[in-house]
Amino acid sequence: MSHRQFTAQLTGVFGFPVTPFHRDLSLDTSALARNVDEMASHPFCGIVAAGGTGELYSLTTDEAELVVQTTVDVVNGRMPVVAGTGFNAAIGAEMARRAERAGAQAILVLPPYYIASPEAGLFAYYRAIADATSLPLIVYSRDWAVFTPEMVARLSESIPSLVAWKDGQGDIRRLQRIMNYNGDRLAWFGGLGDDCAPGYFAIGVQAYTSSISNIAPQLSLDLAEAGLARDFVRMNELMKRYVHPLYALRERARGYEVAAMKAAMEMLGKPAGPVRPPLMDCRPGDLTDLRNLIEIYRDVHPLPQPAHR
Residues taking part in catalysis? 140, 166
Spatial separation of the C-alpha atoms in residues 19 and 147, rounded to whole Å: 29
Within 172-283, residue ranges assigned H as helices are: 172-182, 197-202, 217-228, 232-238, 244-250, 256-267
Query: Pairing relation of β-strands 187-190 and 81-87?
Result: unpaired
Gyration radius of the chain over CA positions = 18
- Is the separation of the CB atoms in 168 and 146 below 8 Å? no
Query: CA angle 239-240-243, nearest 5°?
Result: 45
Spatial separation of the C-alpha atoms in residues 33 and 28, rounded to whole Å: 9
Residues making up the chain, counted from first to last: 309
Spatial separation of the C-alpha atoms in residues 288 and 264, rounded to whole Å: 11
